A = this chain, B = another copy of it.
Amino acid sequence: MLLTIKGFKASGIYSGIKASKKKDLALIYSERPAQASGVFTTNIVKAAPVIIGQKKLKSGYCQAIIINSGIANVCTGKQGIKDANEITKSTAKSLQIKDSLVIPSSTGLIGSFLTSHVGKITSSVPKLISNLSESGLNDAAEAIMTTDAFVKISSRKIIIDGREGTITAIGKGAGMISPNMATLLCFVITDIALEKTAQDRLLQNSVNDSFNKITVDGDTSTSDTSLLLSNGYLGNKPVKFKGRNYSKVKDALTEVLCEIAYKIVEDGEGATKVARIIVKGARTEKDADKIAHTIGTSTLVKTALYGQDPNWGRILAAAGRAGVNFNPDKVDLYFGDYRVCKNGMAVMEEKKAAKYLKSKDIEITFDLKSGNKASFILTSDLTVDYVKFNSDYTT
Binding site for B on A (CB under 8 A): 42-46, 72, 74-77, 79, 109-113, 175-176, 178, 180, 217-222, 297-300, 303-304, 306-307, 309-314, 316-321, 324-326, 328-329, 341, 343-346, 354, 382-384, 386-388, 390-395
Contact = CB atoms under 8 A, between A and B. Distances in A.
Given A343-B77, A346-B111, A386-B387, A222 B393 contact: no
Given A328-B44, A392-B309, A393-B309, A318 B75 contact: no
B383 A387 contact: yes
Nearest to A112: B346
Q: Determine how many copies of this chain the complex contains.
A: 2
21 contacts: A42-B321, A44-B321, A45-B319, A72-B313, A74-B317, A77-B343, A77-B345, A110-B311, A111-B312, A176-B317, A217-B299, A218-B297, A219-B314, A219-B317, A299-B390, A306-B387, A307-B390, A309-B391, A310-B394, A354-B395, A386-B387
B75 A328 contact: yes
Given A222-B317, A303-B391, A383-B391, 14 more contacts: A44-B320, A44-B324, A74-B317, A77-B344, A79-B345, A110-B313, A111-B346, A219-B317, A220-B320, A222-B316, A304-B393, A306-B387, A307-B392, A309-B392
B113 A346 contact: yes
Contact of A382 (B46, B387, B394): B387
A388 B384 contact: yes
B309 A394 contact: yes
A240 B374 CA distance: 50
Nearest to A325: B44
A76 B316 CA distance: 12
A195 to B, nearest CB: 33
B75 A222 contact: no
